[in-house]
Chain A
Amino acid sequence: MQDAFKSTALAAAEGASDAPWLAARRTQSRDAFSALALPDRKVEGWKYNDLSKVYGEAVQLTSASDLAVARELAADTLALEAPTVTLVDGQYCAELSRLPSGLNATSFSEASAEQHASLAQSLGTQARADGQAFVLLNEALNQDGVLVEVGSGESPAESLHILNLRTAAGTAAPRVWVSVGENAQLTIAEHHLCAEGVASFDLPVSELHIGANSTVHHYRFALSQSGGRHIGRVATRQERDSRYYAYLAVLGGDFNRLDFGLDLQGQHCESELYGLYMCRGQEHTDIHLAVDHALPHCDSKEVFRGMAAEQGKAVFNGRIHIHQDAQKTNAELSNRNLLLSRTAEINTKPELEIYADDVKCAHGATVGQLDPEALFYLRSRGTPLEAAQSLLSYGFINEVLLAMPDQAIAGLVTPRVDAFFNDLEKG
C-alpha cells in the first residue's frame, strides 16, 4: 500500500509548481522522499495512527476547483473585512484575497524575484529539521504558498488571515512562511477549511520566524467536514525576548494529524499554546506537540483539551525537551480529555525530557467523563440531560476558547463546536 502511495506521489510531483526558483529544492525533496521509508504503526510517533486512511488512496494534485464552493467557505472569514490571502486547492486565488496595505503578504506566485531568492534560502529551515516524510512530500508537491513579512518595528493594526480552502478531491500542499522582524507585532490566523463530502488530502506546512522582542498571536484552525484528510506541520522559532501565543483547533475530517514544533532559540522567551480537538463518527485526530527549550530563562505553557465521541479516536503527544543550557526554565503542560461514549478512544502521552537541574517542569494529563454530580446538580434544577451535558462540555473547552484574545476570530470556531454538540444530541 505504501509503495503504491509513494509511486503515485512521485508521479504527482511531476505536475507541481514549475517555478524555477524552487526547482532545485523540489528535486532535492522529491529524491529525499523517494529514499525515505514511509511511517507506519511501528514508528513510535505514528503508533496510534491508522495510516491506511492515507495510503489507501492515490496522490493526485487537485486540478478542477469549484469557485462557488470556495466563496461559500470563505464568506465568514471575509466578513471580518481583514486582510486575507486565499489559496483554493493549493493555488492562489486573487478573487477571494484582500491584500493588505500596511503589511507585506503575498502568494509565492506573486512575490518578487528578490522575495523568491530569500524564500529559497529560508523555506524548510525550521520544518524539515527531522526529515519528516510528509514535509518532504509537501515540498515535492507544493504549487503555491503565502509569504508574510513584518519588518522590524512594524505592528499592523489588523490581523492577517490565510485561507486554505478545499473544494475538490485530490491533494494540495500549501506552504506558509512568516517572518517577523525585531520589536514587531503580528496577529495571524490560518484557516484550513474543507467543504462537505470532499475527499481532500491536505499537506500544509507553516513556518514562523519570530524576531527578538516581537509578539505574535497565531490562530490555526483545521475545520473540515466529512471526507477530508489533513497532515499538517507547524514549525515556529522564537528569538530572544519574543512572545508567541498559538491557538489551535482541529474539528472534523476523517484523518487529522498535526505536528506542531516550537523552538525557543533565545533567552527570556514566553510562549503559550492552547489547543482544542474534537472528534466523532469515525474521525481520527492526532496532535503531536514538541517544545524545545534550548536556552535559559524561558517560560512555556501548553493547555490542550480533547474530546472524543461516538467511534472517534483522539491522540495527543506533548513533548517538552529541556536542554542542558536551558536553566531557569518554567514549563507546564496540561492535557485533559473527555470520553463521551463507550466506543470512543483517547490516547495521550505527555513527555518530559530534561537535562538541566534548575528548572520547574510539570505536566498533567487526565482522561475521564463529565462529573456525574455536576450533571445531577444541573438536572435537579430543571436542565435537560443533553443541555446539561453540553453546558458542562463547553465549560471544559472554554479554557481554550476564552484564551483567544480576539473573540471575533474565536467566533469562527464556535459554530463548529455548536454543530458538534447539536449533532451528538440528535444522535
Chain B
Amino acid sequence: MSESVERINERLASDYEAGFVTDVENDSLPPGLDEDTVRAISARKNEPEWLLEWRLKAFAKWKTLTEPEWAHVSYQKIDFQALSYYSAPKGQGDGPKSLDEVDPEILRTYEKLGIPLHEQKRLAGVVAVDVVFDSVSIHTTFKDKLAEAGVIFCPISEAVKDHPELVKKYLGTVVPISDNFYACLNSAVFSDGSFVFIPKGVTCPMELSTYFRINAMNTGQFERTLIIAEEGASVSYLEGCTAPMRDENQLHAAVVELIALDDAKIKYSTVQNWYMGDEEGRGGVYNFVTKRGLCKGRNSHISWTQVETGSAITWKYPSVVLRGDNSIGEFYSVALTRGRQQADTGTKMIHMGKNTRSTIISKGISAARSENCYRGLVRVAPTAEGARNFTQCDSLLIGDTCGAHTFPYIESRNNSAVIEHEASTSKVSDDQLFLCQQRGLDPEKAVSMIVNGFCKEVFRELPMEFAVEAGKLLEISLEGSVG
C-alpha cells in the first residue's frame, strides 16, 4: 500500500496548469503601506471623499490590530511593508471602456485559462463574467442584458461612482471594518471586485461570475465583493481564482459581503485554485479571506458552496448570520490539500431569528504532507426559538504524513434549538478498492470514483459548469493515484 500511496502523492504533485505569467506592463504602487498608500489607491480610483475617509478609518484601526494566530497553520510572518498594494496593467488604471481597450496579452491569458471574454463566442451565453486582473477589474460581460432585467453587475469601483447610495448603504454592514485583521486591511486597501444588486422581485436571468487572477510579483490582491438581493430576488454567483507560479508568497485577502432581504436567495459558489506552492512549500498564495452573508429578511436564504484545491494556506470561513425569521444558511465544502498545503477552513452559522435553519456539509481530503482542518461555529442566540442545525464533517486521508482535524464549536443558548454535529475520518479502504477492481475498474478510476462519491453531496450543489470543473480538478489531482 505504501508504494501506491507514494504514487498518489507523486501524481498529486503534478503540474499546475494555470501557473504561467502574463507579460504585461504594470502600473504598480511601490511596496510599503502607510496612510499615503491608502490615499494613493483612493486617488487612482478617483474615489469620493467618504470612501477615502472610510479607508483611512480602517487603516487607523488596522494599525492597532495584531495578526491572528489561532488557526492550525504555520508560516513565516508576512512583511506587510514589502508588499505592493496596487497593481494594474498599464493604461488600465481606470478600467477599460470596452473590450478593444484591453491589452491583448491579458485576453490571451484568460483564453488560456478557458474564460473567453468575447460574448459572441459564448455558445450558450448563460454566464456573465467580471474579470479581475491583479488589482483592477478588466471587463464585465453581458452588462446590457443584465441591465434590462434591472440587475447591476459591475466592478465595485464603478459602482462607487454610479451607485454611491447603494454602496454607502451596504458596504461594511456585514463585515465591519474592525472585524478581523485581514478584513480590516482589506477595508483600507481594497482595489476592486464585483458589485451585484438584484432589485426587488427579480430573478437574475443568468449566472454571474467573477474570475480573479493575481499576475504581478510581490503584490497582494485585496478584492471586495458586495452582493445585495432585495425582497424576493434571487441570484447565483460563481467565483474562480488562479495565480502564476512564483517562489514568493502572494497574499490574497478578500472580503465578500452578501445581504439577503425578505424572501431573497443568494447562492455563492467558489472554485479556488490559486497556486499552491511547490513540493517543498515554496511560494504559493496565502488565501486569507473573510466571507460572510447576512440573512437580513424573513425567509431569506444564503448558500455557500466551495471547492478549495489551491493556495499554500487557506484561512477562510464563509459564514451566515441568520437574523431574519425562518431564514436558511447552507455551507457545502470540499477542501483538497496536497504537497505542503495547509487549509484551515469551515463556517460560522449564527442563529438569531426564530425557526432559522442551517446545514453544514464539509468534506476534507488530505494527501502528501498537507494539513486539512475544519473549524466551525454554530451559535444559537437566546432569541433563536426553534433553530435547527445539522453538521457533517468527513475527512479522507491519503498517506500517513498528512493531517486531518476537526474543531467544531457549538454554543447553544436556547432550549428549543436542536443542534447535531457528526464527524468521521477514514481512508480509501482496501475493501472498496478491491470491490471496484473485482468488477473491472482500473485502480485509478476506482479511487477517482470513490473520492467523487465522497464529495458528491457538495458537487451536486454546484452549478453545472462548475461541478464539471470541480470534478475535473479533483480527477487531475488524484489521477494515477493507486497502483
Give A354 to B414 CA distance when docked, in angstroms: 32
State whether the Cβ of A364 lies closer than 8 Å to any Cβ in chain B.
yes
Residues in chain A near residue B402, CB distance under 8 A: 355, 357
From A350, A358, A360, A366, give the contact of B400 (CB < 8 A).
A358
B412 adjacent to A357 (CB under 8 Å): no
CB of B423 within 8 Å of the partner chain: yes
Residue contact B421 to A364, C-beta cutoff 8 Å:
yes
Query: Is B423 within 8 A of A353, CB to CB?
Result: no
Nearest Cβ on chain B to A176's Cβ, whole angstroms: 32
Complex Cα distance, B425 from A361, in Å, reads: 5
* Identity of the chain B residue whose Cβ is nearest the Cβ of A346 in the assembled complex: B412
The smallest C-beta distance from A421 to any residue of chain B, in angstroms, reads 16
Residues B425 and A360 in contact, CB atoms below 8 Å apart: yes
Cβ A354 vs Cβ B405 within 8 A: yes
Any A CB within 8 A of the CB of B193: no
Q: Residue A365 contacts which of B404, B410, B425 (CB distance < 8 angstroms)?
A: B410
Known A352-B406, A369-B415, A369-B416; judge A324-B421 contact (CB<8 A): no
CA distance A369 to B414 in the complex (A): 9
Which residues of chain A come closer than 8 Å to B423, judged between CB atoms?
A: 350, 352, 361-364
Bound CA span A339–B426, Å:
32
B407 touches A (CB below 8 Å): yes
Per the 8 Å Cβ criterion, residues 398-429 of B in contact with A are 398-427
B403: which A residues are within 8 A, CB to CB? 353-355
Contact A368 B421 (CB under 8 A): no
Residue ID in chain A nearest B385 by CB atoms: A342
Q: Which residues of A contact B418 (CB under 8 A)?
A: 366-369
A: contact size bracket:
35 or more
Residues of A with C-beta under 8 A to B407:
349, 351
CA distance A311 to B413 in the complex (A): 10
Whether the Cβ atoms of B405 and A367 lie closer than 8 Å is no
Q: Does the CB pair B405–A360 fall under 8 Å?
A: no
Whether A368 pairs with B417 at a CB distance below 8 angstroms is yes
| Bound-complex Cα distance A346 to B237 (A) | 36
Chain A binding surface, main DSSP class? strand
Dominant secondary structure at the B interface: strand
Q: Does B70 contact A (CB under 8 A)?
A: yes
A364 vs B395: C-alpha distance when bound (angstroms): 14
Provide the bound-state CA to CA distance between A288 and B401, in Å. Answer: 28
The answer on a CB contact under 8 Å between A345 and B395 is no
What residues of chain A lie closer than 8 Å to B426, measured between beta carbons? Answer: 359-360
The reply to whether B408 and A349 contact each other, CB–CB distance below 8 Å, is yes
Interface size classification for chain B: 35 or more
The reply to whether the CB of B321 lies closer than 8 angstroms to some CB of chain A is no
Chain A residues with CB below 8 A from B380, complex form? 367
Alpha-carbon distance between A231 and B423 when the two chains are bound, in angstroms: 30
- Separation of A342 and B380 alpha carbons in the complex (Å): 12
Contact B405 A324 (CB under 8 A): no
CB interface residues, A 337-396, toward B, < 8 Å: 337, 339-369
Q: Chain A contacts of B424 at CB under 8 A? A: 360-362
A206 at the interface (CB under 8 A from B): no
Residue interface mask B423-462, A partner, CB < 8 A = 1: 1111100000000000000000000000000000000000
Q: Is the CB of A362 within 8 A of B425?
A: yes
- B417 surroundings in chain A (CB, below 8 A): 339, 367-368
Which B residue's beta carbon lies closest to that of A362?
B424
The answer to whether A354 and B397 touch across the interface, beta carbons within 8 angstroms, is yes
When the two chains form their complex, are residues B419 and A354 in contact, meaning their CB atoms are under 8 A apart? Answer: no
Whether a CB of chain A sits under 8 angstroms from the CB of B93 is no
Residues of B within 8 A of A345 (CB): 411-413
Judge if A213 is at the interface, Cβ distance under 8 Å: no
Interface residue B19 (Cβ < 8 Å from any Cβ of A): no
CA distance A342 to B415 in the complex (A): 5
**Shortest distance between the CB of B425 and any CB in chain A (Å):** 4
- Judged by a CB distance under 8 angstroms, whether A423 is at the interface is no
Q: Does A327 contact B (CB under 8 A)?
A: yes
Chain B residues in 8 Å Cβ range of A3: none
Q: How far, in angstroms, from A359 to B399 measured CA to CA in the complex?
A: 11
Quick check: B404 and A367 within 8 Å, CB to CB? no
B382 sits at the interface (CB 8 A): yes
CA distance A346 to B379 in the complex (A): 10
The reply on A72 being an interface residue by CB < 8 A is: no
Contacts of B422 in A (CB 8 A): 362-365
Return the chain A residue nearest B389 by Cβ.
Answer: A367
| Closest B residue to A344 using CB positions | B415
Of A341, A357, A366, which one neighbours B397 at CB under 8 angstroms? Answer: A357
In the assembled complex, A44 has its CB within 8 A of some CB on chain B: yes
Q: Pick the residue among A340, A347, A354, A358 that contacts B411 (CB under 8 A).
A: A347
Inter-chain contact B410/A367, CB cutoff 8 Å: yes
Please judge, given known A-B contacts A44-B70, A360-B426, A364-B422, whether A340 and B415 are in contact too, CB under 8 Å. Answer: yes
Which B residues between 365 and 408 are near A, CB-CB below 8 angstroms? 380, 382, 395, 397-408
Given the interface pairs A44-B70, A364-B421, A364-B422, the reply to whether A324 lies near B401 with Cβ below 8 Å is yes
Give CA–CA (A355, B366) in the complex, Å: 10
Residue of B405, B410, B415 with most chain A CB atoms under a 10 A cut-off: B415
Smallest distance from the beta carbon of A321 to chain B beta carbons, Å?
9
Residues on the A chain within 8 Å of B409, using CB: 347, 349
B410–A357 touching, CB < 8 Å: no
Contact of B419 among A44, A352, A361, A366 (CB under 8 A): A366
The reply to whether A357 and B398 form a contact with Cβ atoms under 8 Å apart is: yes
Contacts of A337 in B (CB 8 A): 412
Q: How far is the CB of A347 from chain B (nearest CB, A)?
A: 5
A409–B15 Cα distance when bound, in Å, is: 63
Chain B residues closer than 8 Å to A340, beta-carbon distance? 415
Check if B382 sits within 8 Å of A359, measured CB to CB.
no
Once bound together, how far apart are the Cα atoms of A290 and B199, in whole Å?
A: 51
A356-B400 CB under 8 A given contacts A342-B414, A349-B409, A365-B410: yes
Contacting residue for A354 out of B395, B420, B421, CB 8 A: B395
Smallest beta-carbon distance A106→chain B, Å? 43
Contacts of A342 in B (CB 8 A): 382, 414-415
In the complex, A343 Cα to B399 Cα: how many Å?
47
Q: Is the CB–CB distance between A359 and B421 below 8 Å?
A: no
Instruction: Determine if B425 and A324 form an interchain contact, defined as CB atoms under 8 angstroms apart.
Output: no
B395 and A365 form a contact (CB under 8 A): no
Which residues of the partner chain A approach B415 to less than 8 Å between Cβ atoms?
A: 339-342, 344, 369
Cβ contact within 8 Å between A324 and B410 = no
- The listed residue (A347, A353, A358, A359) touching B405 by CB distance below 8 A is A353
Q: What's the Cα separation between A363 and B411 when bound, in Å?
A: 17
Most B Cβ at <10 Å: residue of A345, A358, A365, A367: A367
Please, how many angstroms separate the alpha-carbon atoms of A70 and B38 in the complex?
70
Residues in chain A near residue B400, CB distance under 8 A: 324, 327, 355-358
Chain B residue with Cβ nearest A322: B425
Say yes or no: A349 contacts B405, CB within 8 Å.
no
Do the beta carbons of B412 and A367 come within 8 Å of each other? Answer: yes
Is A349 a contact partner of B410 (Cβ separation < 8 A)?
Answer: yes
In the bound complex, CA of A44 to CA of B409 (Å) = 12
Task: Choose among B395, B420, B425 the residue with the greatest number of A CB atoms under 10 Å from its CB.
Answer: B425
A187 CB to nearest chain B CB (Å): 33
What CA separation (Å) do A367 and B418 show in the bound complex?
6
Please, which residue of chain B has its CB at the minimum distance from the CB of A365? Answer: B421
Min CB gap A247→B, angstroms = 24
Cα distance A44–B403 in the bound complex, in angstroms: 21
- Chain A residues with Cβ below 8 Å from B414 are 339, 342
Q: Which residue of A lies closest to B398 (CB)?
A: A357
Ranked 5 nearest A-B pairs via Cβ: A357-B397, A339-B415, A367-B412, A368-B418, A352-B406
What are 27 A-B contacts defined by CB distance under 8 Å? A44-B70, A324-B401, A327-B400, A342-B414, A342-B415, A346-B410, A349-B407, A351-B406, A352-B395, A352-B406, A353-B403, A355-B402, A355-B403, A357-B5, A357-B399, A358-B427, A359-B425, A362-B422, A362-B424, A363-B406, A363-B422, A365-B408, A365-B420, A366-B421, A367-B417, A368-B417, A368-B419
Q: Could you list 4 further interchain pairs (A-B, Cβ under 8 angstroms) beyond the known A358-B400, A368-B418?
A: A351-B405, A351-B406, A356-B400, A358-B427
Interfacial residues, chain A to chain B (CB-CB below 8 A): 44, 324, 327, 337, 339-369
Taking Cβ atoms with an 8 Å cutoff, the residues of B that contact A are 5, 70, 380, 382, 395, 397-427
